[in-house]
Structure 1
């Protein structure tokens, strides 16, 4: 295992053991909210991702999730929550990250993934080699995408 692979494995394990954003959503008053459940029937992983969005700016003000599953799906949800917490993302910026993550996880990225765009999510790049784990990594990201669609319908 290369030093970089070891570092990526540490990032995944750390997020899996000490998840960010796991818990109940506590939106600010007046926020637009959405929640979506995703399930992976091939392995039993499941997750609920909830978001709160500022109705004026369209920025995601918080993301919370609950779920159970393998370390890959739980770490992916935690990494996504960290990105939302650390960045100022509106729907378009969030969708840009979802698209970049989807390309990376499906092995369609030409060259190295954009670390500035994906942050710790690049630690999951190796999942693309394991077809049965791709959906595990994508669960939270697909749920966020559905949440954004729900919020768009409220606007």
Structure 2
């Protein structure tokens, strides 16, 4: 994707976030906060009966446009993924943004990666890395702590 399309995608999600609401019934929920800039995100996830698939996912949050766009993109891309696929995608994004891609991406997640590739372009601005990764870091904690509500910083 060219840079202009990537910027438009981030801008669209920042200005018109998807799945920005509270889920009444959840399997796991986690609140993440970046104390350096004040970005906050709470992810709510409803898993399938056997807890293998993400059936619903939503976020509430406030912060810079990049953090909110990242959370919005996360909810769109992770809906319908297996828990393992969502974890893998989150780990891959985090490693790509930090410029240290130590995690490989499963070929089955290529389409999902193409949808969030815009976020990896933020690596050129180190101050924004935490803004992009906050929602994804929060997702990993939520999925690890199924059945609980947790706050991370």
Q: Which protein has the larger Cα radius of gyration, Structure 1 or Structure 2? A: 1
| 2:117 counterpart (115, 119, 122) | 122
The separation in 2 between residues aligned to 1:64 and 1:11, in whole angstroms, is 19
Name the residue aligned to 1:23.
21
Q: What TM-score does the superposition give when structure 1 sets the normalisation length?
A: 0.84
The separation in 2 between residues aligned to 1:152 and 1:103, in whole angstroms, is 27
The separation in 2 between residues aligned to 1:77 and 1:37, in whole angstroms, is 12
Q: Which runs of 4+ in 1 moved over 3 A?
A: none
Q: Write the mapping of 1:52-71 to structure 2, written as runs, cut at 5 A.
A: 52-56=46-50, 58-71=52-65
CA deviation string 1:116-148 (max 9, x = no partner): 241321111221111111011011111111110
- Unaligned 5+ segments in structure 1 are none
Cα-Cα RMSD? 2.1
The separation in 1 between residues aligned to 2:62 and 2:72, in whole angstroms, is 12
Name the residue aligned to 2:77.
83
- Structure 1 residues 57, 69: CA separation in 2 closer, same or farther (over 3 Å shift)? closer
Name the residue aligned to 2:94.
102
The number of aligned residues is: 143
The separation in 1 between residues aligned to 2:22 and 2:120, in whole angstroms, is 28
Name the residue aligned to 2:139.
144
CA deviation string 1:1-22 (max 9, x = no partner): xx81111100000001111110
Q: What TM-score does the superposition give when structure 2 sets the normalisation length?
A: 0.85
The separation in 1 between residues aligned to 2:5 and 2:110, in whole angstroms, is 14
